[in-house]
């Protein structure tokens, strides 16, 4: 389960375009900031995913690579 279905908070539409995500590393956390643009109403919004990891708990085993660059 990689991504929850995301709907536009402005109009409730689900025609969204994912923009290039940002990542912030803060101490033991990585904040992945996903940027979305709603195709229906044109609004943009962010979704922040905070991942806390430690040496023995770090799961990032899915095939999707958010990448840092294109």
Residues that bind Zn ion (CB under 5 A): 8, 10-11, 13, 38, 40-41
CB of 23 to Zn ion, least distance (A): 25
Residue closer to Zn ion (CB basis): 15 or 48? 15
CB of 70 to Zn ion, least distance (A): 25
Residue closer to Zn ion (CB basis): 30 or 35? 35
**Calculated CA dihedral for residues 30, 28, 60, 20, nearest 10 degrees:** 10
- Do residues 40 and 11 lie in contact, with contact meaning Cβ atoms separated by under 8 Å? yes
d(CA 70, CA 67): 7
């Amino acid at each position: 389960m990689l991504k929850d279905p995301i709907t536009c908070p402005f109009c409730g539409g689900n025609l969204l375009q994912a923009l290039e995500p940002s990542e912030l590393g803060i101490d033991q956390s990585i904040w992945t900031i996903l940027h979305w643009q709603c195709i229906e109403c044109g609004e943009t919004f962010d979704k922040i995913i905070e991942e806390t990891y430690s040496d023995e708990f770090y799961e990032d085993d899915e095939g999707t690579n958010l990448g840092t660059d294109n």
